Amino acid sequence: MIFASQSLIGSGGYRPSDVATVFYILKENQKDISKMVTKIYPWEELVSTIKNAADPEK
């Protein structure tokens, strides 16, 4: 048997203070976050990108 798993992770559920902290860290360049973003999709591909991420066959 072969299983596959994919995750689509967003920023929902954070408190305003969490967002302020992240903005501070980004502004001060205290952390290398380049590996956190694995791919960037154009806005026009939003719907198809979400559908693809939800498809375990892909």
pTM of the model: 0.39
Helix locations, the chain, DSSP H: 16-28, 46-54
Could you tell me if residue 9 is inside a domain? no
End-to-end CA distance of the chain: 16
The SS3 of residue 33 is coil
Question: What range defines the domain where residue 34 resides?
Answer: 16-54
pLDDT at res. 48 = 92
Mean pLDDT, rounded, for 30-41: 81
Which of the two residues, 10 and 32, has the higher pLDDT score? 32
Burial class (CB in 10 A: 0-12, 13-18, 19+), 19: exposed
If one counts the domains in the chain, the total is: 1
pLDDT at res. 8 = 66
Could you tell me if residue 7 is inside a domain? no
Could you tell me if residue 10 is inside a domain? no
Could you tell me if residue 11 is inside a domain? no
Could you tell me if residue 1 is inside a domain? no
Which of the two residues, 52 and 6, has the higher pLDDT score? 52
pLDDT > 70: what percent of the chain? 86
Residue 22, token pair as written in the block: 């992240």
Could you tell me if residue 48 is inside a domain? yes
Mean pLDDT, rounded, for 19-30: 84
